[in-house]
């Protein structure tokens, strides 16, 4: 069981881990031992995470979420399988914790007078530069 908060725990049965060979440093060991970990977590099937947080978790997952709503975390930073496994679980917990934070609602604001003035000044300046490129009216 992975404890996220006092109320939220992810059961071992809700995640699956697949081990593959990882590239990078490690010498001969990297060619023999499957140290990379692919952790799969079905987000919508986890009942202990509130529905709103699950939806945010799917958004936070981005390209790591499959069409079926399975979050895949790949960990191959370390040379040992156990350390990569811990890393994948830590990253899962971090993502779940981020999804639990409710985003602050955006408050619509109006542009300040100074920003409006700067915008208009810039338009006038740009128009003046373009006017200087024109051929004079008297010459043809």
Give dist(CA 86, CA 104) in Å, integer.
31
Please report the pLDDT score of residue 114 as a whole number: 97
The pLDDT tens digits for 112-131 are 999 999 999 999 999 999 99
Please report the pLDDT score of residue 125 as a whole number: 97
Closest CA to 16 of 99, 82, 81, 88: 88
Please report the pLDDT score of residue 26 as a whole number: 63
Please report the pLDDT score of residue 111 as a whole number: 95
Transcribe 14-40 into DSSP letters. GEEEEEE---SS-THHHHHS--EEEEE
The answer to whether 5 and 48 have CB atoms below 8 angstroms apart is no
Which structural domains are found in the chain, ordered by start?
Answer: 2-100 (3.30.160.20)
Partners of 37 in the β-ladder: 19, 75
Give dist(CA 81, CA 72) in Å, integer.
17
Of the chain, the end-to-end C-alpha distance in Å amounts to 84
* pLDDT greater than 70 at residue 30: no
The answer to whether 91 and 73 have CB atoms below 8 angstroms apart is yes
The mean of the pLDDT values for the chain is: 84
Please report the pLDDT score of residue 25 as a whole number: 65
Partners of 17 in the β-ladder: 39
Please report the pLDDT score of residue 126 as a whole number: 97
The pLDDT tens digits for 44-97 are 888 888 888 888 888 888 888 888 878 888 888 887 888 888 998 898 889 888
């Amino acid at each position: 069981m992975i404890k996220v908060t006092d109320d939220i725990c992810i059961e071992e049965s809700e995640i699956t881990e697949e081990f593959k060979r990882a590239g990078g440093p490690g010498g001969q060991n990297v060619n023999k031992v499957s140290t990379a970990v692919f952790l799969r977590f079905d987000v919508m099937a986890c009942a202990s995470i509130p529905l709103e947080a699950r939806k945010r978790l799917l958004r936070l997952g981005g390209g790591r979420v499959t069409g079926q709503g399975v979050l895949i975390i790949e960990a191959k930073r370390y040379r040992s399988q156990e350390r990569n496994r811990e890393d994948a679980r830590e990253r899962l917990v971090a993502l779940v914790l981020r999804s639990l934070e409710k985003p602050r609602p955006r408050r619509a604001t109006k542009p300040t007078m100074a920003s409006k003035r700067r915008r208009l000044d810039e338009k006038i300046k740009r128009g003046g530069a373009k006017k200087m490129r024109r051929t004079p009216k008297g010459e043809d």
